[in-house]
Structure 1
Amino acid sequence: MPRRKLPVGQLGTIRYEKVGPRRWRAHGYVRTFADKRLELQATGGTKDEAAAALEANARVRVYENAGAIIDGDTPLLELLELTLKAMRDGTVGNRKLRVQSVNTYERILPLFSGKQGDRAIGRLPIAECTQPIIVNWLMKLSERAPANAKLSKVLLSRAYDVTAMHGVNVWPMNPTYGVKLRAKDREDEEPVALTLPEIQAIWQNVQAWQTPYKRVDLVGIVGALMATGFRPSEVLALQWSDIDLKATPKARVTLTGAIVRQDGKLVRQGYTKTKAGYRVVSLPNWFRDMLIERVVNAESVLVFPNTKGGFLDIVNVRSKFRDARGETYSHVKLKSFRSSVATAIEEVSGVEEAARQLGHASPAITGRYYVRRAADAGDHTDVLELFAPTQSAG
């Protein structure tokens, strides 16, 4: 009768031999995922210590898979690089990611190498990257950089999917499952809602900054942000063909794309962030007049091109705006105009109309992230009535 094969990853009968006064050696066989039967050995001060060392050795060796792309000895960083390739190709996760999204994850790879002071777990073989090690690393990173910790968690979760695809069952479950990371500070999430006096003051500062020698049309860009509620990257992608200045009763603009950076190059992405983002927005008369002034001398298909007619880099535009906005408004960013537009429309017409203007499929997103509301303190007047002044005698 043929010998029954060992289950994959399970040690066979362990044999012991005494190799010194206080030294034991344990021997055993383990079957790998490549269907190889390996003989292993390990030593320890007692039988139990030798057996524990043998089992630890087996846990690493079981993933050896000659000719495979990854195995238990593959460094975590190499697995993450393979994961990023799979995310580009759409072979892992629910869908193929946009190039700029993959680039975002690529930028956090140095974290795993310890280049920013974090523990260099990227150098560890994946068989040694246990769940406690990964969880501890994520929690430590979360204390310093919550946003990067969130990205790292997603990347590690996709890496788990890649190991499963390649039959390397190094983690019994997703090592990031259930990890609760520190959230960003509330102040960072609070939308900015500019008042009319604040908007007028910023207008004056930007107009004072804009001189004939300034090559970025910051007045026009800020105007577009205020007039539409578009994202800055969407404003920079506006083409004259998207705008109908003769439409009645109001001029209109159709949002058709955004300027993004893909693999280090600026490109115009010819579609919106979501399906709901593809929309027609009516323009206020003051912005229509601004566009009429600009279209006369237009030499590019873009409404806001660089000096050569190409794409403006949002990084440079943000820098120009920081110079122009004034110290009083250092908390105001280009994206602040989007939340200001949403809040202004919500106060007059409701959150549903604000969502339509911003291109959100759900008003809940608009209300949560873009509309600034005062907290409702409730009605406690029955208590406060007790503080009414008494009538003086006489």
Structure 2
Amino acid sequence: MGRRPMPVGTYGKIRVESSGPKRYRARCRYRDFNGKVYDVERMGTSRTNAENNLKAAIRDWVTPVAGATVTASTRFRDVAARWLAELVRDAEREFRSWGTIDTYRNRLEGLVLPAVGDLRMNELSTPILDALCKKVRDNSSASSAKTVRAVLSGVCAYAVRHGALDANPAREITRLESKRAKNRPQKSRALTAVEVLDLLKRLDQDERAAKDDLPDLVRFFLGTGERTGEALGAHWPDFNAEARELAMSGNVIRVRGRGRIVNRGKT
């Protein structure tokens, strides 16, 4: 009769050996919940330290994925770089907006990485990520905090897909509501007909404005109500002369490292 296998979720005898001055290696065999047995080892500055590191690794164990470049011990900043590169590839295939990519990159580099960039994926927790989002909300705005939450959720979802995390810790971040403004901004008003005619007259008579096509552009604004980037992205092929309709299929944006481009992700 063969020896009975270890119960799933348990590990065998821990062996610790010296591998140099103040360097110890702790080893054991661990049977995962998928039934497979893995050899696990961790280093430490003492026998006790190495053994504790090994036990912590087993406690935070995530099943390895064949060929995976992201693991539970990969730092957040390295996973974030891979996630952002994936978004850039999507934008190059026009599946995502370049404007969104730049927004995510700015929040990632300016707010997220300084706070959690050096943490390993298995060190992330909902309380840590929740506290970061609340800090951004209180110091900046709810809008920035929501973008930070989207970045955190995207990076953690990438880690889940590659087997580095079992669940997304950003999923349970609290709702991020904005504070009520103490001073409401002054309500904007529309130009009167007289003001519109005066504006167009001044533009038509200005050589610099005419050279830069401002008279036509301002008339386009007045006739459509489109935003600046969308108006600049208008193309004749999108205009149906018979129906007198224009399909807005993109907007002009400035992308880091690419300059001004027409973003076809805008509809």
Please indicate the TM-score interval, normalised by the length of the shorter structure: 0.5 to 0.7
Displacement of 1:79 in angstroms is 1.0
For residues 185-214 of structure 1, the C-alpha deviation after alignment (integer angstroms, 9 at most, x for no partner) is: 669998955244499289649947983235
Scaled by the length of structure 2, the TM-score of the pair is: 0.67
After TM superposition, the structure 1 = structure 2 runs for residues 140-155 of structure 1, keeping only pairs within 5 Å, are: 140-145=135-140, 146-155=142-151
Alignment check: 8 A CA contact 2:15 2:28 kept: no
Aligned partner of 1:255 among 241, 247, 260: 247
* Identical-pair percentage: 20
Partners of 1:206 and 1:113 in 2: CA distance: 52
1:46-90 deviation per Cα after TM superposition (whole angstroms, max 9, x unaligned): x9x999765434345656778521012211111112222333455
**Which one of 124, 145, 148 corresponds to residue 129 of structure 1?**
124
Aligned equivalent of 2:73: 73
Give the conservation status (yes or no) of the 8 Å contact 1:258–1:268. Answer: yes
Q: Give ranges in structure 2 of 5+ residues lacking alignment.
A: 17-25
Counterpart position of 1:238? 234
Residue 3 and residue 87 in structure 1: after superposition, are their counterparts in 2 closer, same or farther (change >3 A)? farther
> For residue 268 of structure 1, what is the amino acid of its counterpart?
V
Query: 1:174, 1:163 → 2: CA distance?
Result: 11
The answer to which structure, 1 or 2, has the higher relative contact order (CA under 8 A, 6+ apart) is 2
Note closer, same or farther for the CA distance 1:189–1:259 as it changes in structure 2 (3 Å cut): farther
Aligned amino acid, residue 75 of structure 2: P
Partner-residue secondary structure (3-state), 2:208: coil
**Aligned equivalents of 1:6 and 1:89: distance in 2?**
44
Contact 1:14 1:28 in 2 (8 A): yes
Select between 34-43 and 224-233 the one with higher mean Cα deviation.
Answer: 34-43
CA contact (8 A) 2:249 2:266 kept: yes
Match status 1:56 vs 2:56: yes
Using the alignment, how far apart are the partners of 1:199 and 1:133 within structure 2? Answer: 57
Deviations 1:224-248 (A, max 9, x none): 2222122222211234565678x7x
Following the alignment from structure 2 to structure 1, what is the Cα–Cα distance between the partners of residues 246 and 101?
28
Is 2:11–2:28's contact at 8 Å kept on the other side of the alignment? yes
| Structure 1 gap segments, 5+ residues each | 18-25, 274-394
Question: What amino acid is the match of 1:164?
Answer: V
- Verify the 8 A CA contact 2:64 2:163 in the aligned structure 1: no
Bigger radius of gyration among the two: 1
Distance 2:61 2:76 in 1: 16
Structure 2 residue 68 is matched with structure 1 residue 103: no
Instruction: Pick one of 149, 170, 177 that aligns with 1:175.
Output: 170
